[in-house]
A and B are shown apart, each in its own frame.
Chain A
Amino acid sequence: MSASFLEVNDVRKAYGAIRAVDGVSFAVGPGDIVGVIGPNGSGKTTLFNSILGQIEPTSGHVAFCGEDVTGMSPLELSRRGVGRTFQTLQVFGQLSVRDNLIVAAQEFQGSLGARLFARPDAGLGQAADQMIELFRLQHVAGLPAGRLSYGQQKLIDIAMAFMPRPRLVLLDEPCAGVNPSLVDQLRELLVTLNREQGGSFVVIEHNMDFIMRLCPHVICMVEGKVLARGAPADVQSNRQVLAAYLGN
């Protein structure tokens, strides 16, 4: 990996006696795609929440572009160029697909007065249309997002995370509940966005084929700890990783 850009240093999160995240450290460089795998309950989402300020880590530090951002709110992190998607859908069901994309980026535009009197599309209409085209959502662009299929809403959810052109995106199970025919499309989209926007991604995913083909670097977490890290093939063939997934 190149010079680090996100640095997660010995992050721990405990709930009473349960150590959900137990001393995790890793670094992500500009343009990197890092995969995080691990069985259910291994602390992956808690790690994401700790990085993004949605929960405060018990100890440890998170730095982004050299700045200590430990415990910083999602709002502040978002304004520094860090985005995320959730395991569950987080689209705004009553807004149209196009408005969902616009609302995802509009708060980055201008002052209060400018926002109150700005054009209805906040000058983001063209960018939203490009994203709609990239995600092949033209035929549903004007429909309320809540009326679309789960897979389509998942695509909107991911497209929204990229609308503000973030420097780092944390994707939490982007393939969960997505039709297998959309999984390849999703992988291609992420590769395109990585190439075109130059952003870095950290991806939690249970779909091993997806992770192995998308991420040049993979971390495997078990019981809150990093069990293995390295190239996808190395992690996949690691005996401890296999034991964690399949049992002894």
Chain B
Amino acid sequence: MSEFVQLIVSGIATGSIYALAALGFTLLWQAAGVINFAQGEFVMLPAFGMLICVSFGMPLWLAFLVTCAVAMLVLGWGFKVAIVDPLIRHGVIPLVIATLGLSIAAKSTVRAGYSALAFPFASPFPEGQFALAGVTLSYADVGTLVLAGGIVVALQAFLNRTVTGRAMQAVAQNADAARVLGIDVKRMVLYVFLINAVLAVVTALLVTPTYLAKFDMGDAIGQKAFFAAIIGGFNQTRGALLGGVLIGVLENLVGFYVSPEYKEGVALVLFLFVILFKPEGLLGRSEERKV
């Protein structure tokens, strides 16, 4: 029983990391109609950013803050201005192609400029384990759960309980009406890109100690985040949370009770079932579009 609880806690911790990246997917889609297939690389680049800062002697927390600032500028504002704004008026497909290209370019640049090796990355949490009610838990799992959970709760509170958050929801639901009501739609969309950049840095901080900093580390995280967003419902932020946690927990259970070899296929199988039987996602809602 204690093994089972341990697997669940560890699965929720891993799933909350997927959920953070998936949240970025859903926020960008809702606010700007953008599907960012470079989301995995948006996690990989800050991991290397923090490594560079640490190599200059910065403590990890300072490296994290500096990387957050740079990511907001480059992966938030820069991505919006240089790629999304010029292409968005041409529809979704050019943006999909552009973000796929960006993903390849980011990986190739890091491999050429840094190396193809995997680099160790310090965990922000202490090593070791502790026992709680007969269940052995690692500090890393609990720390990940608390940090990721805290960020998700804070983000939900921001969206639901602040004036700006509510305006962002309004823009996501009906940008034309929001514009007529005096909401600065461009500014709200920019906030979403900035939030996505910060979520990517936090994901990098949490995931890199396990995945190691490598040019292709974003492939797995980006793919699972995308599946998580679809499974939960692409048009619901809480859907991304559910999808992420579901994948994390099921991966752990399948890896332990069935075979570690099947672990990586869990997200894909779940994704296929959802696409076949509930294409709007577990918490998503069907959307009507005028034709």
Contacts and interface: CB of A to CB of B under 8 A. Distances in A.
Contacts of B182: 75, 78-79, 107-108, 164
Contact of B161 (A93, A104, A120): A120
A115 interface: yes
B163 A74 contact: no
A34 B162 CA distance: 38
B180 A92 contact: no
Contacts of A73: 179
A75 B169 contact: no
Contact of B181 (A52, A117, A160): A160
Contacts of A90: 174, 176-177, 180
A116 B162 contact: yes
Contact of A92 (B161, B163, B169, B184): B169
B278 to A, nearest CB: 19
Interface in A91-133: 91-95, 99, 102-109, 112, 115-118, 120, 122
A103 B188 CA distance: 13
B181 A104 contact: yes
Interface string B162-197: 111011011001101111111111000000000000
Contacts of A117: 162
Interface string A66-80: 000000011100110
A38 interface: no
A115 B163 contact: yes
B179 A92 contact: no
A75 B163 CA distance: 17
A121 B37 CA distance: 36
Contact of B174 (A92, A107, A108, A116): A92
A108 B182 CA distance: 7
A118 B165 CA distance: 11
B180 A103 contact: no
Contacts, number: 77
A116 B164 contact: yes
A84 B166 contact: no
A122 B185 CA distance: 18
A98 B207 CA distance: 40
Contacts of B173: 92-95
A78 B164 contact: no
A16 to B, nearest CB: 21
Nearest to A123: B163
Contact of A95 (B163, B166, B179, B184): B166
A103 B164 contact: no
Contacts of B178: 92, 103
A86 interface: yes
A117 B182 CA distance: 19
Which residue among B162, B164, B166, B176 has the maximum number of chain A CB atoms within 10 Å of its CB? B166
A117 B157 CA distance: 12
A69 to B, nearest CB: 14
A74 B166 CA distance: 20
A35 interface: no
A83 interface: yes
Nearest to A99: B166
Contacts of A120: 161-163
A78 B170 contact: no
A52 B177 CA distance: 13
A92 B167 contact: no
A106 B166 contact: yes
B170 A103 contact: yes
Nearest to B166: A103
A78 B169 CA distance: 19
B290 to A, nearest CB: 9
Nearest to A157: B177
Contact of A102 (B164, B166, B177, B185): B166
A92 B178 CA distance: 9
Interface of A: 52, 73-75, 78-79, 83-84, 86, 90-95, 99, 102-109, 112, 115-118, 120, 122, 160, 164
9 contacts: A74-B179, A90-B180, A95-B170, A99-B166, A103-B170, A107-B183, A115-B164, A117-B162, A164-B181
